[in-house]
Amino acid sequence: MDDNDLSREIIEETFRFAELAISDSHQSALHSGLAEASAAGAMFTGDFAKAAALYHELVAAHPQDARLLLAYGNALSGAKQYKEARAQFDHAKAIGGLGARDLGLPAAKACALDHDPEAAMTCLKTIPPQFLPVSSAIRNVGSAAPSQAKTERGGLVCANVYGLRWS
């Protein structure tokens, strides 16, 4: 190895990094994010049951974190547990702090897949029209009376948002 200033600087920097990497504070920071990273990884790979189990633990530890409740609801929805997903979305909405579209679309999807088009329409109506994939159709149906939200037309709009076949 060439003994010069650059070599010594690189070696010193490597030692500083190693000290930081093994420090208690660094290790603690890494471990604190591990559970959420694992849950997000399970979502990414489509293992929704595992993601739901991991998010369940996170939500139990942080019940007022709307962001975690949203993620938990998405995992439950992916695992086809729509009623449970809806409960998490409702809890997240009550806490607040999430964007209308970020919460409204997955909540509407869970409602539609749970065969509740009226609730799905209610969720979609909370989202500003510019954020909806079929905003002109939602605006047209959105003006219907709540009792008409269960009509085939309203159901088809909910289904069209997610490319679902309505039955």
Q: Residue 37 half-sphere exposure, CB side, CA atoms within 13 Å?
A: 6
Would you give per-residue pLDDT tens digits along the chain (167 residues)? 568 888 888 888 998 888 877 777 767 777 778 899 999 999 999 999 999 999 999 999 999 999 999 999 999 999 999 999 999 999 999 999 999 999 999 999 999 999 999 999 999 999 988 887 664 444 444 444 443 444 444 444 454 555 554 44
In angstroms, the CA 73 to CA 91 distance is 10
The answer as to CATH 1.25.40.10 being correct for domain 35-162 is yes
Domain boundaries, the chain: 1-32, 35-162
Distances (CA, A) of 8 to 2, 13, 21: 9, 9, 20
